[in-house]
Amino acid sequence: MRSEARDRLTVISALGVVEILAWGSSFYLPAVLAGPIAADTGWPLAWVVGGLSIGLLVAAIASPRVGIAIHRHGGRPVLASAALLLALGHLVIGLAPSLPVFFAGWLVIGLGMGCGLYDPAFATLGRFYGAEARPAITTLTLWGGFASTVCWPLSAFLVEQVGWRGACLAYAGLHLAVTLPLVLGLIPGVPASAEVDGGERRADAPLAPRERRAFLLMAGVLVLGGTVTTMVSVHLITLLQARGVALAAAVSYGALIGPAQVAARVVEMANKGRHHPLWTLMVAMVLVTLGLTILAAGIPAVAVALVLYGAGNGIYSIARGTVPLALFGADRYPVLVGRLARPGLAAQALAPSLGAVTLTYGGPDTAYVLLAALAFANVGLAAALRGTRP
């Protein structure tokens, strides 16, 4: 029993490091590198940041097939492919002589994101541990919560020491020297006898009416959740400054989100699955809504609002992995997680532009109201999901 626990801890820890580097070198990369890239090349900043949107759209397109591949062959080959694709994409970006080549690099990184971010990792754990995967998913999100904490300072250090191109090449090397060996050495493969079984037919079976309703509602939650979290990530500093918060204070307030996410995940881990994942999802949506409503109302409690938002967002990451497992079962989990990832990633890709348009034409007050309204709508979707519980 202890050996099994150690083996599980080893797998989750290896996946945790993989997730830190995958998120830190893709989703969180433009936050540090976009400015230096634009300053060095003269490429418009909006276009440089747009590379991430391209990557997310590619990841959205690839996600359903990624889920099928994990269901059939396990997560190790898919996650290994992610390491290679992310390394290649960073190599292309680091050597890009022009904006079109830079975008081509993000196309490759997008494929790596589709194969290596949370959803493939959740599907991998679901493939390993079946209905018992919930604690593993919760622990993995705790690791992932340190992606920006680790990689933002690392990216800044690399830019200072070797420039943005050198930083991209360094990330390519990290994926080849760290991520790939971790996947190949510590992530178990799926026995050949397990690759083709009755589960294949169950995974391809049509959804029952209850399941179809649950699938659509969960997709809606992911679309609204992805829109809100990405808009906040990209535009939070601008929104706070529009309310008279100085830049240094706005950055300090924003820094509260990360610790709040981690703290909420620790509480969820301590809970040890006593409550159904749908309760976790509901609590997450309510906390996010409370935080954004305080900001939208202009109540002078920015720190409280962002701690509530961060806590909600932290356990939302857990719920998006555990709710589908509870609703649809382990047999179809990798396939359905892959399908569900597509609308959420697409929403994340479009959210920065939606936020920019709202700020430009409606102003910060409209943007605050939009965020609060989307969060309220997600509370409704989470409540409706409870009616689909088997």
> What is the residue type of 164?
W
For residue 2, the model assigns a pLDDT of 47
Token digits of residue 65: 């097939």
CB 372 within 8 A of CB 293: yes
Instruction: State the SS3 of 68-96.
Output: HHHHHHCHHHHHHHHHHHHHHHHHHHHHC
Other Cβ atoms closer than 10 A to 231: 26
Distances (CA, A) of 260 to 40, 135, 288, 303, 309: 35, 20, 12, 11, 8
Residues of the chain predicted below pLDDT 70: 1-6, 191-205, 273, 390
Distances (CA, A) of 291 to 63, 226, 294, 375: 31, 16, 5, 10
pLDDT for 164 equals 95
What is the reported pLDDT for 390? 65
Q: Taking the model in full, what pTM does it have?
A: 0.86
Give 100-154 pLDDT, tens digit per residue. Answer: 999 999 999 999 999 999 999 999 998 888 878 888 888 898 888 888 878 888 9
Token code pair at residue 75: 């997560």
75-95 helix and 2-24 helix, angle to the nearest 10 degrees: 20
Question: Who's near 95: CB < 8 A, 6+ residues apart?
Answer: 101, 165, 169
- pLDDT for the residue numbered 193: 45
Task: Give the pLDDT of residue 228.
Answer: 95
- What are the structure tokens assigned to 219, written together? 């997709």
Domains, the chain: 2-196 (1.20.1250.20), 201-386 (1.20.1250.20)
